[in-house]
Chains A and B, each alone.
Chain A
Amino acid sequence: MVKFSLTKTLQGAEGLLPLCVQCNIQAGQLVGLYGQSGAGKTSILRMLAGFMQPEGGEIICNGQVWYSGSQKIYVPPQKRNVGFVFQDYALFPNMNVRQNLLFALQKGQGAGVVDELLALTGLDGLQKHKIQTLSGGQKQRVALARALVRKPALLLLDEPLSAVDNALRAGLQGTLAQLHRLYKVTTVLVSHNIHEVAKLCDTVILLEAGGVKAQGAPAEMFFGNNGNGHTLTGIVLGTQKSGLGFVATVLVGDEIVKIPCAEDLPKGQTINVGLQQLV
């Protein structure tokens, strides 16, 4: 179980943002940290990893205090047993794929886990390859495998799939889900992709304006739970007159749908689209 409450004033593009969050994460869960850019998602991840010092609060992981503002405890990143997957992968260019994973081995840990992870991520054939020769998706797999070598208590993923295209993303999501099922590492995934969070996460923490707006299962968080079917949120791209009423063109996720409506809706307005049944 990971418990944290953190305060920190962040310097954002639109001035200072006071961050104040409090969360409990159950052991073995894959939790999504979801919010708009600049909501403080990556900063929370960096504070959990020990790369950024909070101004106050505490971080407790499996009973160990990693940070406590009141007790003046600050455990450095090396001693936290975290796995971190960076947006830019942060693979070591002076090492090949296998060497990147071997570097992550801890004292007394056998190389068997490296072979296992290379096989699970489909990288066996690329072991001797230099990092510079890999594609974005392959680099992502190496970064994920490397972060898991030391069997971390907490795996932190900072928008790991943001730099790959949609076709690759689905495959990588599958790998991520498979590794999570296998190793059951408590994981925090930062993402601003609603599909990704809904597909992968057990729980979603919704961040807004530096605070936790809500926390719960993805289905409740994104689609509501009103008992009369589901609701999707969309943005109006335009409205045309049709017969006695209007038809609005609405962007829902990555899809564009046409929905009959009674009035001329302004372009850019956010609306809820109700679904009565699934087919």
Chain B
Amino acid sequence: MIDLQPFWLTIKLATLTTFILLAVSIPLASWLSQKRGVFKTVVQVVAGMPLVLPPSVIGFYLLLAFSPTGWLGGFLETHFNTRLVFSFAGLVIGSVVYSLPFMVYPIQSGLASLPPSLKEASFSLGKSRWQTLTKVLLPNIKPALLSGIVLTMAHTIGEFGVVLMIGGNIPGKTRVASIAVYDAVESMDYHNANAYALILFATSFIILLALYFFNYRLQRVKQHG
């Protein structure tokens, strides 16, 4: 019987990361879609760094920041008696940083593709920025929101390097499914490695299939009313 705990931990991590990223990315993407200039470009590049950096590099820097001798880790340990390194909370923060572009970019491009007149029309009807965002802009970029949510979930499920660097391999705490596969292979337990890998493969496949299916449905609704 295989140990299912790594999967529950993975689902918990992916769900939490997705919710946090959704809350962070909507205002950030909205800001990025409206601004121009050097500062915007710098913010966009920083948000996109996880796309090009090796996960081990991000993990290394997060490890330095989270460690009790680092500025963030030291501050949290002194004032809040909290340690992020090798903890689930640390994994969530690492995942949020690592998956940031997978949520921000689809939402940003979705918002940028809407005609500016939609926002202006809402303003001319006396609606605030918040009302315009929630009632007009976001409902009209549902496919982009869905892409962001699904890609973030899938990316967090498949995350390995960052998790290993800052979380290690503590059962029930930081041993997520991708680490469990690696651990099983290391200890030559190919039976369990196979089972874990197959479940991960199937989960990722179903998530991507669902994304394409829902996007297809949304397109049809959009075209045929």
Instruction: Tell whether A pairs with B.
Output: yes
Chain A residues close to B by CB (< 8 Å): 49-51, 76-84, 86, 88, 90-94, 103-104, 106, 129-130, 132-133, 146-147, 149-150
Hey, which chain A residues are within 8 Å of B125, CB to CB? 103-104, 146, 149-150
Asked if B217 is an interface residue, CB under 8 A from chain A, the answer is no
**Cβ–Cβ < 8 Å partners of B81 in chain A:** none
Q: Is the CB of A93 within 8 A of B222?
A: yes
Q: Say whether A92 contacts B124, CB under 8 Å.
A: no
B residues adjacent to A (C-beta < 8 A): 115, 117-118, 120-128, 135-136, 139-140, 222-225
Contact A49/B225 with A90-B115, A90-B118, A94-B139 known, Cβ cut-off 8 Å: no
Q: How far is the CA of A84 from the CA of B123 in the complex (A)?
A: 10
Contact of B135 among A83, A103, A149 (CB under 8 A): A103
Residue numbers in B under 8 Å from A90 (CB-CB): 115, 117-118, 120-121
Which residue from B121, B126, B127, B128 sits with its C-beta under 8 Å from A86? B121
The 10 closest A-B pairs by CB, nearest first: A130-B225, A90-B117, A90-B121, A94-B139, A84-B124, A77-B123, A133-B225, A104-B125, A86-B117, A132-B225
User: Are B222 and A88 in touch, CB under 8 angstroms?
Assistant: no
User: Given A94-B139, A130-B225, 11 other A-B contacts at CB below 8 A?
Assistant: A50-B123, A86-B120, A90-B120, A91-B121, A93-B222, A94-B140, A103-B136, A146-B125, A147-B124, A150-B125, A150-B126
Partner of B120, one of A49, A129, A133: A49
Assembly CA distance A90 to B128 (angstroms): 17
Residue in A84, A92, A133 with the greatest tally of chain B CB atoms within 10 Å: A92
Tell me if B's interface is mostly helix, strand, loop or mixed. helix
Residues of A within 8 A of B120 (CB): 49, 51, 77, 84, 86, 90
Give the nearest-CB partner of B138 in chain A. Answer: A94
Closest Cβ–Cβ distance, residue B144 to chain A (whole Å): 13
- Greatest chain B CB density within 10 A among A90, A91, A146 is at A90
- Residues of B near A146 (CB, < 8 A) are 121, 125
Instruction: Tell me, in angstroms, the Cα distance from A273 to B222 when the chains sit together.
Output: 52
Q: Does the CB pair A132–B124 fall under 8 Å?
A: no
A89 to chain B, nearest CB (A): 8
Contacts of B225 in A (CB 8 A): 129-130, 132-133
Cα distance A150–B222 in the bound complex, in angstroms = 28
Judge whether A84 and B121 touch: CB under 8 Å: yes
B128 pairs with A78, CB closer than 8 A = yes
Cα A150 to Cα B127 with chains together (Å): 11
The answer to whether residues A94 and B136 also contact, given A81-B126, A132-B223 and a CB cut-off of 8 A, is yes
Which residues of the other chain, A, contact B118 by a CB distance below 8 angstroms?
A: 90, 92
How distant is A128 from chain B, measured CB to nearest CB, in Å?
10
Cβ B124 vs Cβ A77 within 8 A: yes
